[in-house]
Structure 1
Amino acid sequence: MYTGIVQATAPITGLSRTGAHTTFEIDFPPGLTEELKIGGSVAVEGVCLSATSISGSKVTFDAMLATLERTNLGALQEGGMVNLERSAKMTDENGGHVVAGHVSCAAEVVEMVTEEPRAHISFRVPPEWAKYIFVRGFLAVNGCSLTVAEQEGDVFTIYLIPETLRQTTFPRYQPGDRVNIEVDHQTMVTVDVMERTLERLLPRYLAGAAE
């Protein structure tokens, strides 16, 4: 479990691709590897990955083909920067929202503005995921817990405070790039249950109204 509060950005210092998976080596900032063990979970750009080796500040992770296809990890290059968050302890304060690190979809950046006072990111999600996102609802974008400010069809806009811009990889993004989206799980369950309920009850209602 994560909180959606990005703890640091870090560079990719090594990258190796094979047919089945990609191995990333990331140089963690001081202190962020404390008590991290092999197999420990870290959110990398919002994707829950397990540490496969630890050597000083250098930590490696493997991403399988299914993960690379669903997320933006397949587009990362050596020298690029990623958002990092260590998994949360049960006693930790949650200043964001409950984030699983299971990315729902990758969204296309439509507009990126980093200048105040209207710094924001707008992105387009696949149509099948738009129903789970709504104004004033929250979601994780590249692992960062954020609140939706505006919606127009399948395009959503989130405003960014200076601290978010300072602490994340967002300033590096440009229109056409992809970001990882994790919708709130409880919202997704609620929408799905309501849809199934309406599909079951609506025919009965229409049949009764026709009598």
Structure 2
Amino acid sequence: MFSGIVSDVGQVIELKNLGELRRLVVASVYDPASIEVGASIANAGVCLTAVAVEARNAGSRIAFDVGAETLAVTTLGGWREGERVNLERSLRVGDELGGHMVSGHVDGVAEIVSRRDFDGMAHFRFRAPKDCARFIAVKGSVALDGTSLTVNAVEGETFEVLLIPHTLAVTTWGERKVGDRVNIEVDQMARYAARLMEAGQDR
């Protein structure tokens, strides 16, 4: 589990196809001694398992194997060397939950349809995948590229969020532009609530 609070922006330094898998290697400031093989790390919101960890400069070089399904339903299939990536390590018992509960199981890909910058902040409008839109509500939470954000407005399959200067500075969001595609994970509580309502209607 994750909280949607990005703790590093890594960089893709190697991509290699291994049959049905793709080996993804990311450079990070994380201390390699603190990461065990098998650890879960969210890469732009996608939970991946570290399969190798080595020291690199003052940080680490972390390798992940990504399956065909993940490549197909997230933005990872389009990543290239040099890509900057929001990273978050999995929560430990006792960690502060600063965002909301995020599983790292991405629901699909949303598209940025507008961006407006003002006073150091940025207002984004997104088009959500049709299957996700019904789970997105005003004042609810959504994880976009692994970042926990609050929904400000919803209209049909589009929704809006506001990013403050700090978030723009410490994540990849400062680089995002109209037409970019981002990984989206809807709030699990919204999903459970919708399922309970559906179950009640079926009675």
* TM > 0.5 fold call: yes
CA radius of gyration, larger in? 1
**Number of the residue aligned with 2:22:** 22
**Number of the residue aligned with 1:42:** 41
Q: Structure 2: state its 5+ residue gaps.
A: none
Q: Contact (CA 8 Å) 1:52, 1:60: kept in 2 or not?
A: yes
Runs of 4+ in 1 over 6 A off after TM superposition: none
Q: Contact (CA 8 Å) 1:5, 1:85: kept in 2 or not?
A: yes
- Verify: 1:59 aligned to 2:62, yes or no: yes
Kindly state the Cα deviation for residue 30 of structure 1 after the two structures are TM-superposed.
Answer: 4.8
Query: Residues of 2 paired with 1:21 and 1:113: CA distance?
Result: 38
Q: CA RMSD in A?
A: 1.5
Query: Residues of 2 paired with 1:116 and 1:65: CA distance?
Result: 41
Q: Which of the numbers 95, 99, 105 marks the counterpart of 2:98?
A: 95
Kindly state the Cα deviation for residue 104 of structure 1 after the two structures are TM-superposed.
Answer: 1.1
TM-score relative to the length of structure 1: 0.89
Kindly state the Cα deviation for residue 47 of structure 1 after the two structures are TM-superposed.
Answer: 0.5
* Structure 1, 93-102 or 15-24: larger mean CA deviation: 15-24
1:90-129 correspondence to structure 2 within 5 Å: 90-116=93-119, 119-129=122-132
Please tell me the residue identity of whatever aligns with 2:38: G
Q: Contact (CA 8 Å) 1:41, 1:87: kept in 2 or not?
A: yes
Q: Structure 1: state its 5+ residue gaps.
A: 202-211
Please state whether the residue corresponding to 1:132 is helix, strand or coil. coil
Structure 1 or 2: more strand by fraction = 2
TM-score relative to the length of structure 2: 0.92
Q: How many equivalent residue pairs? A: 199
1:179-198 correspondence to structure 2 within 5 Å: 179-198=182-201
Q: Contact (CA 8 Å) 1:114, 1:171: kept in 2 or not?
A: no
